Amino acid sequence: METLRKKLLALDGKSYKAYKSIGGRYAFTVDTMCFSLSIDHVQGDPFALPSRISVWVNMAQARLPDVLWQDAVRRVALEDFLGRALNQAIGRCVKGRRGVGCSGEITVASGGQQVLSRNAVLISAAGVEARLTFGLPAENRRAAGREAVAMFFDELPRLVAAALCFDNLDAVQAQRHVHSVEDQHALRDWLREEGLVAFVANGAHLPRASGVDDSPLRHHVLPLTAPASLTCSVTLPNAGHIEGLGIPAGITLIVGGGFHGKSTLLQALEYGIYNHIPGDGREQVATLETAVKVRAEDGRAIHNVNISPFIDHLPFDRDTVHFSTENASGSTSQAANIIEALDCGAELLLIDEDTSATNFMIRDQRMQQLVAGDKEPITPLIHRVRELYTEQGVSAVIVMGGSGDYFDVADTVIMMDAYQPRDVTLQARALARPIETTLTGLPAFEREAARCPGPSALDASRGKRPVKIDSPATTLLRYGSHRIDLSQVEQLIDIGQTRAIGLMIHYFTRHYATDCRSLVAGLRQVMADAEQFGLDRFSEYKVGNLALPRLFELAAAVNRMREGDWR
């Protein structure tokens, strides 16, 4: 501890690069609190990415109750709670700007409304580790050693005491956080037992503050109340008995007038694959973890995908069994998105007509009469969605405000009326009629395709320059020379997931790409390694800014690479 203080005071006013000498481990004792500090990476310039540090508190000092981290679900929940507590303590205890560049900044990756598995805070039987970024202070590109002393010897111990020692935390809030996450996990497991694909508890607050603010809308929000005919009840481990809207397996339509909450409900279901923090309003909304939001995605790249179940006999005999393009249309992109989701094991498709290609969703009888079947290569979803469920076990929840033809294939119809769900299934069935079509002998669906990117697609280097993997935003991954646009992968929610995806693709390249029978088979191995060894498995250096993605979003990133050969 005193060694570090002397080093910092000695380098005050020297070249910023003098900070390099402080790397290493140090033991801290402040009053009765002990912790160890590891300075893992020192930035070379005040305008570069901040330095990385980690602090370790042994369990005798941290005193985290065993009952709050006794299994994997609870451990992730408590790690998330500590990360948020640390972020809040930074707001209270850290001065912030102490010079040029990122001088004085201290940050921890703590997330938004969802609870994700991260490597920012890690709990084990031995103790708890927190990983932070530390903007070492500078004045005119010279080390501000005395300011650094204040950061390390005043601010850092206060952060450790406030967020990593359980005696200083709100035990009631910690328990509430853990119990809420455990209940959501149990609720998702319960769905399968009941033959449901989703559940929305009575009292849920679904609307968000704005299109760029995922926190709940606080004013003029009516809590959701399920219609009696679709009400299900469940007893959760901690919350006990709750009731709400149960959406059964099969084909479900969400209908209603504009601005009545159709897309709001669907978005809640999209994010129901994740656990949410208490007070979010959606913490008792659960969706099958294998649910995938699919949409049209004009302009995306497609590589060697069998879209023939939806699009066949293109002009000039273009192959749709091994379809590739650098600039997909709305219909071809939506077809590919569904096939790729099935490839990864999707059991529920979430679709909003507002973000779908019209000609992919439906073609009415008059259009069929005018344009003969042998002249139209697109088989609309309406003609295959029932088959997807009966033969492939894939359900669908579809927001449909403009076409009643989907009544003909629906099992359940929910009308949103002023943000409240009503069961109008019987009324919809009275309006339904058998689909008349001449479509026969359609190509079958595949559940796992034997396709995989070649070496050039997976190369993360930039010519003769070394490997470069970077994520400037949640929606953008730079992987070597690839610029992967993930803006239409709507269930990707955190930049930490995007960072992890880049590293996981590189890991797949080095460990599984050569020998795996398919892309998805290899990526499943990567996900298994993540579950067994943690996110640190994928980074060459100790970092704390990764969050676990799903297989679906990991595969989506690979599928959207523009360059490279595929086999």
Q: Could you tell me the two tokens for 448?
A: 């796992």
pLDDT confidence of residue 464: 74
Q: How many CB atoms lie within 10 A of CB 258?
A: 7
pLDDT confidence of residue 449: 86
- Secondary structure (3-state) at 311: strand
> Strand 348-352 to strand 395-399: parallel, antiparallel, or no bridges (unpaired)?
parallel
- Calculate mean pLDDT across residues 79-105: 96
What's the pLDDT tens digit per position in 217-232? 988 888 999 999 999 9
pLDDT confidence of residue 377: 87
| Helix H or strand E encompassing 313 | none
Identify residue 258 by its one-letter amino acid code. Answer: G
- Calculate mean pLDDT across residues 100-125: 96
Residue 477 burial (C-beta neighbours within 10 Å; 0-12, 13-18, 19+): buried
pLDDT confidence of residue 439: 62
pLDDT confidence of residue 206: 96
Q: Could you tell me the two tokens for 94?
A: 């850290």
pLDDT confidence of residue 457: 82
pLDDT confidence of residue 565: 81
Are the C-beta atoms of 29 and 1 separated by less than 8 Å? yes
**Cα separation, 285 vs 245, whole angstroms:** 9
pLDDT confidence of residue 415: 98
Helix, strand, coil percent values for the chain (each to nearest 5): 40, 25, 40
Q: Could you tell me the two tokens for 248?
A: 């059964």
Residue found under tokens 């002990």: 34
- Secondary structure (3-state) at 436: coil
Q: How large a percentage of the chain has pLDDT more than 70?
A: 97
DSSP result, 483-544: EEE-TT-TT---HHHHHHHHHHHHHHHHHTTTT-SSHHHHHHHHHHHHHHH-GGGG-SS--S
Identify residue 501 by its one-letter amino acid code. Answer: I
Question: Is the pLDDT score of 349 beyond 60?
Answer: yes
Report the C-alpha dihedral over residues 204, 207, 212, 215, rounded to 10 degrees.
-30
- Calculate mean pLDDT across residues 303-329: 90
Rounded mean pLDDT of the chain?
Answer: 94
- Calculate mean pLDDT across residues 182-202: 98
Question: Is the pLDDT score of 310 beyond 70?
Answer: yes
Alpha helices in 209-325 (DSSP H): 262-270
- Calculate mean pLDDT across residues 424-439: 84
Q: Could you tell me the two tokens for 400?
A: 């449909």
Question: Is the pLDDT score of 209 beyond 60?
Answer: yes
Q: For residue 219, what are the contacts with CB-CB under 8 A and spacing of at least 6?
A: none
Backbone angles phi, psi at 553, to 5 degrees: -75, -30
pLDDT confidence of residue 538: 98
pLDDT confidence of residue 92: 96
Q: Could you tell me the two tokens for 475?
A: 């929606």
**Cα separation, 277 vs 80, whole angstroms:** 9
| Helix H or strand E encompassing 280 | none
**Cα separation, 448 vs 454, whole angstroms:** 18
Question: b/e per residue, 396-423, with b = 16+ CB within 10 A?
Answer: bbbbbbeeebbbbbbbbbbbbeebbbbb
Identify residue 518 by its one-letter amino acid code. Answer: S
Identify residue 63 by its one-letter amino acid code. Answer: R
Radius of gyration of the chain from its Cα atoms, rounded to whole angstroms: 26
**Cα separation, 441 vs 452, whole angstroms:** 28
- Calculate mean pLDDT across residues 7-22: 95
Q: How many CB atoms lie within 10 A of CB 221?
A: 14
Domains in the chain with CATH codes: 2-169 (no CATH), 173-445 (3.40.50.300), 455-559 (no CATH)
Are the C-beta atoms of 495 and 505 separated by less than 8 Å? no
Q: Could you tell me the two tokens for 312?
A: 């066949």
Q: Could you tell me the two tokens for 525?
A: 């191995």
pLDDT confidence of residue 372: 57
Identify residue 303 by its one-letter amino acid code. Answer: H
- Secondary structure (3-state) at 49: coil
What's the pLDDT tens digit per position in 351-386? 999 999 999 998 766 666 666 556 678 999 999 999
* More confident site: 455 or 139: 139
pLDDT confidence of residue 367: 66
461 — pLDDT class (breaks 50, 70, 90): confident
What's the pLDDT tens digit per position in 50-71? 999 999 999 999 999 999 999 9
* More confident site: 58 or 314: 58
515 — pLDDT class (breaks 50, 70, 90): confident
- Calculate mean pLDDT across residues 256-274: 96
* More confident site: 316 or 20: 20
DSSP result, 463-490: TTB---EEEEETTEEEETTEEEE-TT-T
**Cα separation, 44 vs 181, whole angstroms:** 40
Question: Is the pLDDT score of 436 beyond 70?
Answer: no
- Secondary structure (3-state) at 130: strand
**Cα separation, 86 vs 165, whole angstroms:** 11
Backbone angles phi, psi at 360, to 5 degrees: -85, -30
pLDDT confidence of residue 446: 83
